[in-house]
Amino acid sequence: MQGTYLAGIIIATDNEARPFIKAFKMKEIEDWPVPVYGCDNIFLAISGIGKANAATATAYVCAKFDPEWILNLGAAGATRESCHLGDIYHIEKVIEPDRPHPASGSPYVQTPDVLPDFQKAVLATQDKPIESPEDFRQVAPLADLVDMEGASVVQASKRFGKRCLLFKFVSDTPVHAGKGELIIEHIKHYSTLFCGFISNEVIPVLKGLNT
């Protein structure tokens, strides 16, 4: 299988992954150590939530399937209420607020690859979930969006020499803090639209770059 895949998609949860599996007519390739689905030259791995899960899944698929690109896709919270549910951003920098550099004390920064002509944002990745408006306020000076996987996907991808892209859609804002069930409904709703965007706007660009 090595060398046959254009892109490996890393997604945290089943709710975020299902529209892609359905739209791309993916079939299950493996169920351990992470669920992996594939079609033609694209595959998708459901990593689970959090940095460790994301890093493990990314390292596994880089070593096993050797894709040209790694894409980390999924939901993120917006640190400002001016962002709208469903808005889609291409991540140009990832900051880890909960991982200070031992020498400087500043948060580690991961730098993904970036494509032109997409709306850009800075992402914060941390293992602590956002549960209150105060949590959002603490992250807002550093980043536009916050998730729990992006930084680890970038770091693991780069360790394997892979090009890595991050696209995130807004599933919640400070006004939704602590409303877990509502956020899940937002994810279910906007994941389908997000899948269409990736399919129609991003994948064709990658195919053009690899011709």
Per-residue pLDDT at 101:
86
| Residue-range definition of the domain harbouring residue 96 | 7-209
For residue 199, the one-letter residue type is S
Is residue 169 a part of any domain in this protein? Answer: yes
Is residue 119 a part of any domain in this protein? Answer: yes
* pLDDT-derived band at 22, boundaries 50, 70, 90: very high
| Rounded distance between C-alpha atoms, residue 108 and residue 47, angstroms | 22
Is residue 82 a part of any domain in this protein? Answer: yes
Does residue 90 contact residue 122 with C-beta atoms inside 8 Å? no
DSSP string, 148-193: SSHHHHHHHHHHTT-EEEEEEEEEE-GGGTT-HHHHHHHHHHHHHH
Per-residue pLDDT at 100:
85
Is residue 108 a part of any domain in this protein? Answer: yes
Nearest C-alpha neighbor of 74 from the set 13, 145, 132: 13
The contacts of residue 53 (CB under 8 Å, 6+ apart) are 12, 47, 149
CATH number, domain of 68, equals 3.40.50.1580
| Rounded distance between C-alpha atoms, residue 169 and residue 146, angstroms | 11
Is residue 2 a part of any domain in this protein? Answer: no
pLDDT at 2 over 70: no
How many structural domains is the chain composed of?
Answer: 1
pLDDT at 1 over 70: no
| Rounded distance between C-alpha atoms, residue 125 and residue 115, angstroms | 21
Calculate mean pLDDT across residues 107-123: 96
Is residue 1 a part of any domain in this protein? Answer: no
Calculate mean pLDDT across residues 93-100: 93
Assess whether the previous peptide bond of 133 is cis (omega < 30° from 0): no
Per-residue pLDDT at 47:
98
Calculate mean pLDDT across residues 93-104: 91
For residue 190, the one-letter residue type is Y
pLDDT at 147 over 80: yes
Is residue 72 a part of any domain in this protein? Answer: yes
Per-residue pLDDT at 4:
63
User: Over the stretch 54-91, which tens digit does the pLDDT of each residue have?
Assistant: 999 999 999 999 999 999 999 999 998 889 999 999 99
Is residue 33 a part of any domain in this protein? Answer: yes
* pLDDT-derived band at 211, boundaries 50, 70, 90: low
Per-residue pLDDT at 201:
97
